[in-house]
């Protein structure tokens, strides 16, 4: 039985959930790994689905600032804000 193909968002989430190795990626790495043009839009969709994905600004080897995404544990305040925002929109 063949499994259904994973969506780009599912692939990104699986990559960020890895336990071993690097579980972060930059915009350029995301474009290369997942074949998407607008990585930040995919990250925004994952955040809207309730995943706590954080953006860290780091410097690369050339001294340029780049955005790196990582999956984290939401703080208590963020969880309650998400809960109350869902109540307001209902």
pLDDT of residue 41: 93
Domain range holding 80? 8-89
Would residue 1 count as lying in a domain?
no
Count of structural domains, the chain: 1
Burial class (CB in 10 A: 0-12, 13-18, 19+), 48: exposed
Tell me how far apart the alpha carbons of residues 38 and 65 are, in angstroms, rounded to a whole number.
18
CATH number at residue 79: 1.10.10
Element (H, E) at 61: none
Which is it for the CA torsion 56, 57, 59, 65, positive or negative?
positive
Task: Report the side by side order of strands in the sheet with 65-71.
Answer: 24-26, 65-71, 53-59
Residues of the chain with pLDDT > 90: what percent? 37
DSSP letters of 73-86? PPPHHHHHHHHHHH
pLDDT digits (tens, 9 = 90+) for 54-85: 999 999 899 999 999 998 876 666 555 555 55
Would residue 15 count as lying in a domain?
yes
pLDDT of residue 6: 78
Is the pTM of the predicted complex or chain greater than 0.75?
no
């Amino acid at each position: 039985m063949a499994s259904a193909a994973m969506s780009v968002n599912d692939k990104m989430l699986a990559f960020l959930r890895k336990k071993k190795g690097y579980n972060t990626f930059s915009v350029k790495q995301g474009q290369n790994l997942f074949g998407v043009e607008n990585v930040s839009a995919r990250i925004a969709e994952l955040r809207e689905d309730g995943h706590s994905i954080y953006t860290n600004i780091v410097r690369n080897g050339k001294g340029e600032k780049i955005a790196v995404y990582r999956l984290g544990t939401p703080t208590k305040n963020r969880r309650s804000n998400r809960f109350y925002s869902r109540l307001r929109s209902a």
